[in-house]
Chain A
Amino acid sequence: MASPSGQTREPNPGDPGLDHLPTALIATIMTKLDVPSILSLASTCMTFRSCAAHILSFLPNFHLLDIAPSMDLLRPLLPPDNPYLRSLKVDCTRLDDSSLDFLLRPSLQELCLRNCADFSGKLLSQLGHSCKDLRFLYLSSVAEKRTIS
């Protein structure tokens, strides 16, 4: 971190770093970060890695719109048993109807799915069925690839 003069002090090996904080405190800090930054931090050391895994299991807001994740990428980031997940925002360019059970959770109050071209009308019917508590919904490009028969 830069000091007011703009120079960074050489790290002193004796000084404890951030990984020495109690995990509850690390968790508090991590919950304030966006998803990519949580993963960045998770890549620094074991403490943060296990902390990130823990955080993802109770994160209330999961917003990932910078990239279009595949199901394989999304699965470990969105544990299915997170009862606190209220807001989900995902770019669905690489997702289709097979992800619906995974995405549409009863705890959701806010849902934003971008680029849903590969979803069918099943998206809407399952939405109404699964997400009874929803207050905000944003969908874009739904079923754009569906051909008119």
Chain B
Amino acid sequence: MAPKNKNPNGENVVPEVQQKKTQALILKSSDGEEFSISKSAAGLSVAIKNMMEDDCAGGVIPLPLVDGGTLARVITYLNKHAEDGASDEDKRKFDEEFLSGMEVDVLCDVALAGNYLDIRGLFHDVCQRIVNGMKNKSVEWVRKTFRIESDFTAEEEEQIKKEYAWAWEGVDSDAD
């Protein structure tokens, strides 16, 4: 082994070109799960990228606000978007499928993680998906779909109905 492939401690060092591709980080979720991710994929998160640049990452990055299930999803997203040779069309299809099956609680968790980790594409897509689910829908439909509990009194409810009745004229049928 050529000396330039050894670091000062005499350990083997991966040549730089190869290193760039295989270099990995460990992301640690709030519930202690550890995930390995390439630096190029992790760098799609502005928050993680900043931590890497400030060199305060030290190989393991704890993410105390993201649980394991959510982090696994986010990493799937990042890996796809960092994949060599994935066309924009591939990514678009992936994004659509990635979000389409999500329940409301999962959507909320992914929105929070996307915001916290500053992954703009993901955050934008999740918000857009929530927005699309609300446009032109009745109050009852939005409540049921997004599990929003009404905390209005009967009088308040009545008042709001009077005030805003025009806003939901011509909304989509709840059966849709």
Interface on A for B, CB 8 Å cutoff?
1, 3-4, 8-9, 11, 15-22, 25, 28-29, 32-37, 39-46, 48-49, 66-67, 73
Contacts and interface: CB of A to CB of B under 8 A. Distances in A.
Interface string B118-161: 00000000011011011111110011111111111000000011
A33 B135 contact: yes
A36 B104 CA distance: 22
A44 to B, nearest CB: 5
A66 B158 CA distance: 23
A40 B139 contact: yes
Contacts, number: 108
A66 B134 CA distance: 17
Contacts of B134: 33, 37, 40-41
Interface residues of B, number: 42
Nearest to B128: A32
B53 interface: no
A44 B135 contact: no
A136 to B, nearest CB: 25
Given A37-B134, A40-B139, A44-B139, A18 B104 contact: yes
Interface stretch (B1-9, B21-29, B105-113): B105-113
B167 A40 contact: yes
Nearest to B161: A43
Contact of A40 (B104, B105, B168): B168
Contact of B136 (A3, A20, A37, A48): A37
B103 A40 contact: no
A71 B127 CA distance: 32
B101 interface: yes
Given A3-B101, A15-B105, A32-B128, A39 B147 contact: no
Shortest beta-carbon contacts, A-B, top 8: A17-B147, A18-B146, A39-B167, A15-B105, A36-B167, A32-B131, A44-B148, A43-B139
Contacts of B115: 25, 28
Contacts of A17: 104-105, 108, 146-149
Contacts of A1: 102-104, 107, 133, 145
A42 B142 CA distance: 11
A29 B130 contact: yes
A125 B135 CA distance: 38
